[in-house]
Amino acid sequence: MDNNSGKGRFPGFLRKYRGLDHMGKNVTILKAVVVVCVLAIFYNLLKLMIWDSDEYKQAAVSQQLKTETLAADRGTIYDANGEKLVQSAAAWVINLYPAQIKENQREELCQKLAEVLDLDYDYIKGRSNMNTVSARLSVKADKEQKDLLQDFIYRTCYVRKVKKVGEDGKSYYEEEAYLEDDPSMELKKVEHYKYIKGISLDADSKRYYYHGSLASTVLGFTNFENVGSEGLESYYNNELKGVDGKIIKAQNSKGGEMPFDYETVIDPINGNSLELTIDANIQSVLEKYLRQAYVDNNVENRAVGIIMNVKTGAILGMATMNDFDPADYLTIRDPAALQEIAEIEDPDKKKDAINTARQHQWRNKAVSDAYEPGSVFKPITMSAALEEGLTDMNDTFNCPGYKVVGGRTIHCHKAGGHGTETLTQGMMNSCNPVLMTLGERLGAANFYKYFTAYGLTNGTGIDLPGEAPGGSYHKEADLAKPQELATSSFGQTFTVTPIQMITAFAAATNGGYLMQPYVVQKVIDPNGNIVKSHEPVVKRQVISAETSKNIDMMLEATAGVGGTAHNVYISGYRIGAKTGTSEKIATLATTGERKYVASMGAVVPVDDPEIAILILFDEPNNPRSHGGGTIVAPVVRNVLAEVLPYLGIDTIYSENDARLMDTLVPNAVGKTVEEATEMMEAKGLQVRVIGEGGSVTGQIPAGGKSAPKSSTIVFTTTSDGEVPMTTVPDLVGLSPTQVAYAVKNRNLNIRYSGTGYESSSGVAKSQDIPVGSRVEQGTVVTVEFSVAGITD
């Protein structure tokens, strides 16, 4: 082109052709080829880098970025008093990478893991030999265990690089680490070197349960991935879990990090906390007695206890036995189930059985399982009849022991019948014919109207998962049959869940308001602000306050002398209660076995109800009885005896009660007999003096001790101050009158406990001082009574 050498000069644009021979022209063509190629390349680059770059760019970004999750802290669960029940704490997931584990370290690693984590050695060994990239251990390490393992894995090592040749002929470098320095090799000392290969500890969290298995069926648990699986953890999972944060980092193709400041951090939003209506103290009392009763009565199909605030619907305690340990929810607690599983040989069936048993123990029976309520339902029918004006408190009924309905004879539980009785007596006796009569008067439509109004055809809407859906409830059409209506009127042939039953029971007694039961009082965000606060929800007023009052009075009578629920009686409290024993008709029809559900509902205090309690045993196997009045009532009584003072419910004592109440005995030793007698009588105590002396030298019960007000204090005026001895008689099995006589005969004092000692129906169950013991006269013997032979 610029080849303008030569003698002459070419003018202008032609100059470039001067001196070009064929070769020059050919090169021009060559240049054109190069230009065309380069233009093609430019076009392709434009297409790849600008016009169509998105797809590949996205793909590149997605392979280059590694997202690490910053786990949000799961919310804490507090009880009604702000006491922590469940809290998340840091834990570490242990992953093994079988292919990376060094053969000479495998044994050591497995043993260490077994020792630190308290796991089965064979299990870990199996995991470490798995044919997968990674194998996770089923247990998370806590801080302490993690520290132990880290010290084991990371040590001060002496490292060198060794060149090796792989199978493909390419060479690569590998690090070799030694615990000891070896001068013959050039080793570099590295602190905190990952000496044990093939294991990683990944930060995670786990739930920590401050009260062990307390309220486990209500709280539920979180699974290995920290997702709520049962109970509140599941129902409120979205509130509790929070929003996980993220760290987005660049990674190379081997998954390693790149030395870029390319890091985007999205902070996690921690989960909200829950404040429950459940009070840990009440719950633990409930569980204590329920657990004992579950064992004592050999309950086959679990026991349920619910305590509810009748004014708000707040659940104060809810327990199901057998329960589980939420920190170790996979372990089956029920020894019977374990026994059963151990006997299964087929591994598949065994697995199924284990799963079934686990599901069973996790299930919150209080809301998930329906049962036939039996006689506890009777107040509901009665309230309906009263509300509709189909009966009144002065109404009288006759019970011949049976009633013929629709051509079928339905018996009362008392073979001979209760004879003529008022409505209240009908309730006290739990008389089926009375209820059948009322049911008949109500008719199917009215019965169903109240059945629905009491919320028994729908779920209660409690904030717990797995509330049994409709279907086990009564349908109006079924009630068209007279027998069906008759049996329904005393709580048979239909099923409801315990939570429905206690809600309806509470509605019948609290002035007629059907409340929505709830467990969570407040949802609190991580900064302590209240996100949600549960206000009591009145679903509807089912019956009038007056009718409700009447029901309360009848229930109080039932818990009183002569009532079937008298075993629940606690002096000082006005308790209304109704027992129930329902036969499981479905079980009878299918297996021919007679199985029962024993239950009791109670409400305190009847003049202005505060709390309701429902306890039921599904299939108790107590040789003594399967009746609610006999086996459930004492449990209810024990629970209430502790819960009522805790709740600060006022005590009101009747005159008789007041007389039996304990009082502090003043010290009269050293005083004159007259003075001492005056002192005791001021306290309402009686006095018996032994000896001729003028002043008191000894006294039983001694000063400062407490004794029932009905006691007789024994003074001695002899110089040695000793009170004569006497022998404690055998009191168990005697009636209250007989007991009083026997104790008086031996110059002893008695403290009544239990129920039924005011009437002839009571029987002494136990005494605190053993038979035949030699004790001083005037000593207080505590005798526990209970009402025997109750049928409902």
Partner 1 sequence: MERISTDRPPEPRRPKKRRSSERRVDYYEPQAMYRDEVAPGRRHTRRRNASREDKTFWGKIRNAWRTMTGVFSNRRLAFDKPLFIIIILLLVVGLVMMYSASYAYAFYKTGDSLFYIKKQIAFAIAGVILMFAVSTIPPHHFKGKWTNGLLLISYGLLILVLFLPRIQGVRRWINLGFTTFQPSEIAKFAAILWCAMYITNHYKEMNLTSYPDLETKARINKNKVRKWFYAMGQNFKVAVLPFLVFLGPMLGLIVIEPHLSCTILVVLIIGTQMFVGGTKKAYFGILGALAVIAGYLVIYTDIVPYGGSRIKVWKDPFVDKLGDGWQNIQSLYAISSGGLFGVGMGNSKQKYLYISEPQNDFIFAVICEELGLIGAMLIILMFVFFVWRGFTVSLANPDRFCRLVGIGITSQIGFQMILNICVVTKMVPNTGISLPFFSYGGTSLMMLLTEIGVLLAISRTSPNKVV
* Residues near partner 1 (CB under 8 A): 1-3, 5-7, 18-24, 26-27, 29-31, 34-35, 37-38, 40-42, 44-46, 48-50, 52-57, 59-61, 63-64, 161, 169, 172-173, 250-254, 256, 258, 260
**Catalytically active residues, by annotation:** 375
Name which of 44 and 533 has its Cβ closer to partner 1: 44
Name which of 254 and 774 has its Cβ closer to partner 1: 254
Residue 469, SS3 per DSSP: coil
Name which of 60 and 537 has its Cβ closer to partner 1: 60
Name the residue type at position 738.
Answer: Q
Rounded to the nearest angstrom, the gap between the alpha carbon of residue 556 and the centroid of all alpha carbons in its chain is: 30
Q: How far is the CB of 100 from partner 1 (least distance, A)?
A: 18
Residue 552, SS3 per DSSP: helix
Name which of 111 and 252 has its Cβ closer to partner 1: 252
Name which of 35 and 545 has its Cβ closer to partner 1: 35
Q: How far is the CB of 53 from partner 1 (least distance, A)?
A: 4
Name which of 60 and 342 has its Cβ closer to partner 1: 60
From the number of C-beta atoms within 10 Å of its C-beta (0-12, 13-18, 19+), residue 224 rates as middle
* R_g over Cα of the chain: 41
Q: How far is the CB of 167 from partner 1 (least distance, A)?
A: 13
Torsion, Cα of 332, 336, 342, 346 (10° steps): -90
Helices (H) and strands (E) in the chain, counts: 23, 34
Q: How far is the CB of 265 from partner 1 (least distance, A)?
A: 19
Q: How far is the CB of 17 from partner 1 (least distance, A)?
A: 11
CA distance 194 to 184: 23
CA distance 286 to 643: 9
Name which of 7 and 774 has its Cβ closer to partner 1: 7
Name which of 148 and 247 has its Cβ closer to partner 1: 247
Q: What is the DSSP string of 220-232?
A: --B-TTS-B-SHH
> Is 602 within 8 Å of 612 (Cβ atoms)?
yes
Cβ contacts of 498 within 8 Å, gap of 6 or more = 304, 306, 365, 366, 367, 369, 371, 614, 616
Residue 723, SS3 per DSSP: coil
Q: How far is the CB of 246 from partner 1 (least distance, A)?
A: 19
Distances (CA, A) of 98 to 47, 172, 566, 570: 46, 22, 67, 65
CA distance 146 to 140: 9
Name which of 251 and 541 has its Cβ closer to partner 1: 251
Closest of 378, 295, 290, 320 to residue 499, by C-alpha: 320
Name which of 190 and 641 has its Cβ closer to partner 1: 190
Q: How far is the CB of 189 from partner 1 (least distance, A)?
A: 17
CA distance 402 to 418: 10
Q: What string of H, E and C letters represents the secondary structure of 612-670?
A: EEEEEEECCCCCCCCCHHHHHHHHHHHHHHHHHHHHCCCCCCCHHHHHHCEEECCCCCC
> Is 768 within 8 Å of 780 (Cβ atoms)?
no
CA distance 791 to 413: 7
Residue 154, SS3 per DSSP: strand
Q: How far is the CB of 181 from partner 1 (least distance, A)?
A: 21
**Kind of pairing between the strands at 749-754 and 780-787:** parallel
Name which of 187 and 769 has its Cβ closer to partner 1: 187
Q: How far is the CB of 281 from partner 1 (least distance, A)?
A: 60
Name which of 27 and 203 has its Cβ closer to partner 1: 27
Residue 744, SS3 per DSSP: helix
Cβ contacts of 724 within 8 Å, gap of 6 or more = 690, 716, 776, 777
> Is 701 within 8 Å of 665 (Cβ atoms)?
yes
Residue 728, SS3 per DSSP: coil
Name which of 29 and 589 has its Cβ closer to partner 1: 29
CA distance 544 to 442: 17
Cβ contacts of 756 within 8 Å, gap of 6 or more = 561, 566, 567, 569, 736, 762, 763, 785, 786, 787, 788
Q: What string of H, E and C letters represents the secondary structure of 29-55?
A: HHHHHHHHHHHHHHHHHHHHHHHCHHH
Q: How far is the CB of 11 from partner 1 (least distance, A)?
A: 16
Q: How far is the CB of 7 from partner 1 (least distance, A)?
A: 7
Q: Report cis status (omega within 30 of 0) of the bond before 394.
A: no
> Is 581 within 8 Å of 628 (Cβ atoms)?
yes
Rounded to the nearest angstrom, the gap between the alpha carbon of residue 549 and the centroid of all alpha carbons in its chain is: 33
